[in-house]
Amino acid sequence: MNLDVIGEWKRTHYSVDVKPEMDGCEVTVFGWVQEIRDLGALRFIILQDREGTIQVTVLRKKTSVEVLSKADALQKRFSIGVKGTVKKTDMTPRGVEVIPKEIKVFNTAESPPIDICGKTLAKLDVCLDARALDLCREENIAVFKIQHKAVEAIREFLFAQGFIEVHTPRFIGSATEGGAALFKVDYFGRDAFLAQSPQLYKEQLVMSLEKVFEIGPFFRAEESHTRRHLSEFVSIDIEEAFADAGDVMQLLEHLMHHVCKTVSEKCGRELAVLKYSVKVPELPFKRLTYDEVLEELKAKGIVISWGEDIPTPVLRTLGKIHPYFYFITHWPKSARSFYIQPCADRPELTEGFDLMWRWIELVSGGTRVASKGLLVKQLKEKGLNPDSFRCHLQAFDYGMPPHAGWAIGLERLTMMLTGKKNIREVTLYPRDKARLTP
């Protein structure tokens, strides 16, 4: 059962692996025609694959009629295979070219509606409308390779720390977590909702699996159109038994260090394509309390009423004072969810924290409430009905341990690692109020 169009063709090398020291070797490369330049006696075909490009040089006088006729018919974006001989040369930037012996055309192509060589960049919405093609741009491939490497580094780190990967449900029966901004689903004729986070489930799981994490899509019916919100996003969630905010903050800063180090060391080519660099942060990260942040802002002439959240324009100012990673700790109870533990000595404060990167909230976390009585009290204080949380509260009857955790937004993390300014650029197929395609 072999697809006839491939036949016995097998890729021997990606473009970047064809090197001058392979002079005289036979190779087979696969990819797409990125550019064609015709100089009469010579025809240059730039073949692109996901790893880069390689020049295929057709010398009219020395090439068979069959190969010539195929080379002449090529157009941009045709997907092709080339069997040929590697030649060292001074005429290409990488010092190497391939002299073709055989060309196979897998598929033809229309003229692309957007320039994917990046010379004239279309508006983001135009690019997103042709996303499959837009993703062929070298910069976009670089973005998603960096994202891939970051997620790999995160798992590697969490595995080493003894975390178990879990899969919690997206369908939930009642509008928990305040019920704000949940998507409603027709679930066999009754109402269900799509989970905004694995929060309640990951908390329940510390009773059995103790240290858990989940990486997956979650949903929020976000009305506002900003550069950092989507209606569907990937969350990286952990929860740990017998741990508190201090423990998981330390885990988090070491994780961020590991991710930045991995990406800066292993994604050199991709970062060069993006003309960006990732600084490996020093440990420990700066820790500011909410009160200290308010003081700093006051010194800049900005007054925030105590207990209120910090609005985005103000965070931008804060990001100028602290241009890299910093924690904001001891948030007021009024600005945190019902499941965050109040501080023992000042119960109007909580053990909730945010990890900031410049002005962007990258991670939110904290010690959770482990006492059922306190949880019920805090639900009521937030105007929520404990009856809607019956299934969740039940878990707290059987020895719920102290626990803490956090959630990283993968897209925001990717913005940090790639320097992209709009969350839609770091999402393969972004979804917001206006966009549901492609």
Cite the active site residues: 220, 222, 228-229, 361, 364, 412
CA angle 355, 360, 363 (to 5 degrees): 30
Q: Residue 354: which residues within 8 A CB-CB, separation 6 or more? A: 327, 328, 331, 361, 362, 363, 364, 365
Helix axes 138-160, 410-418, angle to 10 degrees: 120
The CA distance from 351 to 396, in Å, is: 19
Which residue is listed with tokens 């021997």?
A: 12
Strand pairing report for 96-107 and 164-165: unpaired
C-alpha to C-alpha distance for 330 and 344, rounded to whole angstroms: 11
First to last CA, the chain: 32
Residue whose structure tokens are 């990717």: 414
The residues pairing with 59 across neighbouring beta strands, listed in sequence order, are 42
Q: What's the Cα-to-Cα distance from 45 to each of 33, 38, 82, 84, 225, rounded to whole Å?
A: 7, 9, 11, 13, 42
With CA atoms as reference, report the closest residue to 324 among 360, 300, 352, 292.
360
Cα angle: 197, vertex 198, 204; to 5 degrees = 145
Measured CA angle at 385 (ends 379, 387), to 5 deg: 110
Contact 241, 285 (CB under 8 A): no
Kindly report the backbone phi and psi dihedral angles of residue 373, in degrees, each rounded to the nearest multiple of 5, phi listed first: -60, -45
Contact partners, residue 435, CB within 8 Å, separation at least 6: 128
CA dihedral sign of residues 60, 63, 65, 71: negative
User: Is residue 387 classed exposed, middle or buried when 0-12, 13-18 and 19+ CB atoms within 10 A define those classes?
Assistant: exposed
Q: Which residue, 235, 205, 242, 212, is CA-closest to 367?
A: 242
Beta bridge partners of 409: 235
